[in-house]
Amino acid sequence: MTIQQCLVIIKPDGLVKSLTGNIITALSETKFKIIGAKVVSVSKELAEKHYSELRQRLIEKKGEEKGKAIFEEVLKYIQGHYHTNRVLTMVYEGENAIESIRNLAGSTNPEEADPTTIRGKYGRVNSKTQVMENVMHVSDSEENAKKEIQLWFEPEELTNVIYPTKKEKVSMDKIVWKN
Ligand code: ADP
pLDDT tens over the chain, length 179 residues: 789 999 999 999 999 999 999 999 999 999 999 999 999 999 999 999 999 999 999 999 999 999 999 999 999 999 999 999 999 999 999 999 999 999 999 999 999 999 999 999 999 999 999 999 999 999 999 999 999 999 999 999 999 999 999 999 999 999 999 98
- Closest-CA residue, ligand 1 atom 1, reads 108
Tell me how many degrees the CA angle 145-148-149 measures, rounded to the nearest 5. 80
Structural domain spans, the chain: 3-42+85-157
Pick the atom of ligand 1 nearest to 125's CA.
25
- Candidate from 8, 9, 132 with most ligand 1 atoms within 8 A of CB, to mutate: 132
List pocket residues of ligand 1, CB cut-off 6 Å: 54, 70, 74, 108, 130-132, 134, 137, 140
Buried b / exposed e across 159-176, counting CB within 10 Å, b at 16+?
eebeeeeeeeeeeeeeee
**Would you name the residues annotated as active-site residues?**
137
The alpha carbon of 109 and the centre of ligand 1 are apart by a number of angstroms equal to: 7
Superfamily of domain 3-42+85-157: Nucleoside diphosphate kinase-like domain (3.30.70.141)
Residue 104's alpha-carbon distances to 111, 124, 161, in angstroms, are 15, 17, 24
Please give the model's pTM, rounded to 2 decimal places. 0.97
Pick the atom of ligand 1 nearest to 78's CA.
16
